Every structure is written in C-alpha cells, then in structure tokens.
Amino acid sequence: MNDDNQPPEGYFGCFGKNAAEALAILMPVVDIALKAHETGDYQAFRNVMTDSLAARITPDGFQNAYKAIAPELGPLICKRLLAAVNRAGNPRLLFVARYTNTSDDILINITFTNSADAPLINEMWIE
C-alpha cells in the first residue's frame, strides 16, 4: 500500500484531533471494507457498516456486485488518500487506487458516520 504520502488535512469528524489520530482509527476499517469487497466476504463488510447501509446492501446484492466487479478489478495494489471532506457532518475519505486487472485509476469514496461509538461506514463507492 502507498502510505508514504502525508495525509492531507481535512474533515475527520469525531475520530481525532488531527489527521494522524483520525487515520489511525479509520484506515483499519477502510482496509477491512476493501478486503471484504475484494474477497466477497459480506460478513466482514457487515461488521464495519451502519445498519442504514446494511438495509441497502443485502447479502445477495453484495454477492452479485462482487461477482460482477471483483474479477474486473482484481486484487488491490495500492491506494492513496486524496482528501477528507465533510459530507453532511460526516467524514468522507476520498482515495485513488490501483488494482491488478485495470490500468485505470479507480476512485473510492468512503463515508463514516459521526454518530457511532466505533467507526462505521455509512456509504461506499468504488468507481
């Protein structure tokens, strides 16, 4: 993973007083979600998402998306944080990533909810 770049300052919500503190809490959750997406592990993804997101992403829907997208992308090679922005009071992390089966840059948007005791993902897009 490409973690050599300094993270940009931005909006990290309730997860830390600065970028380093917040990223130490949020990045392990990001890594779990991306690995679950890569391997088709719905339960691992469910463990890091809000109930609201789980209501929109069913196990069957997750598996259908996995079968359609994972082979096209392949395994994740690296990701780089571009920004942390405010999305309706919640921190949204924006990444650019590379996967083995595509030469295109892939954008990843992950929004965490500020209202959780532990960091939970409320929205996630890989495009």
- Residue spans of the domains in the chain: they are 13-126
19: its two tokens: 């970028």
For the segment 30-55, what is each residue's pLDDT rounded down to a tens digit?
999 999 999 999 999 999 999 999 99
Number of C-beta neighbours around residue 16 at 10 A: 15
pTM passes above 0.75: yes
Specify the CATH number of the domain 13-126: 3.10.450.50
How do 106-112 and 121-126 pair as beta strands? Answer: antiparallel
Please list, residue by residue across 17-27, b when 16 or more beta carbons sit within 10 angstroms of its beta carbon and e when fewer do.
eebeebbeebb
The whole-number pLDDT of residue 117 equals: 82
